[in-house]
Amino acid sequence: MNTTAIYLYVGADYVSAFAMSAFVALKEKGLAFDLRTVDLKSKQQHGSAYRELSLTRRVPTLLHGDFTLGESSAIAEYLDDVYPAPLQAWIRSDFMPLKSERPADRIYFPEAVKPLSEPAQLACDKLLDAADRLIDDGRYGVFGDWCIADTDFALMLNRLVACGDPVPPKVLRYVERQWSRPSVQQWVAQPRA
């Protein structure tokens, strides 16, 4: 097994859905890593030190020896290559209007939200249709056993739950099941300002 030190750089506010995905992937792999924070609000990501580390100047960024990598799905794929075990990335696309109107930070900092706009409602309908087809109360995850796709999918659905949008009971049970996973709870327990 590769014993090179691993560092994961995340936003200091611990609200990034992408950082959470990379964090959970590392935890689920059972890998020892140091968590480092970047103060995005004070634009620390544009400072020379982080610029040298992260080509994209975004979080998350993984540092493994002298190798750095950004983007959570790329991090999950890299970890699967270097530390083989079942782990797959959920392809995140089509839901930008929904993400814009139901940001992930509402999960940690609830506040009143407006009804969804037409484009966001269309994205919501598409998401809930996929959830209806993928979620089965007889399985732990959407593909049977847990995989990183479950964390990403549950996080997307939890945006709706946290904002009080109506979701079917099986979707709520799925979100609660995934959210109670120890690796996810370790992320949720991070201090937030």
pLDDT for 96-144, tens place per residue?
A: 899 999 999 999 998 889 999 999 999 999 899 989 988 999 999 987 8
The answer, yes or no, to whether residue 1 has pLDDT greater than 80, is: no
CATH code (residue 61): 3.40.30.10
| Assigned domain for 76 exists | yes
In this structure, how many other beta carbons lie within 10 angstroms of the beta carbon of residue 27?
Answer: 18
Range of the domain at 24: 6-85
Please indicate, yes or no, whether residues 64 and 124 belong to a single structural domain of this protein.
Answer: no
Tell me if residue 9 falls in helix, strand or coil. Answer: strand
Query: Distances from the Cα of 179 to the Cαs of 44, 60, 75, 171, in angstroms?
Result: 30, 20, 21, 12
Q: Which two tokens stand for residue 189?
A: 């327990």
Report the chain's mean pLDDT, rounded to a whole number: 90
State how many domains the chain has: 2
Say if residue 162's pLDDT is above 90. Answer: yes
Is 186 inside a domain boundary? no
Residue 79 has pLDDT above 80, yes or no: yes
Q: Is 88 helix (H, G, I), strand (E, B) or coil?
A: coil
Is residue 188, in this structure, part of any structural domain at all?
Answer: no
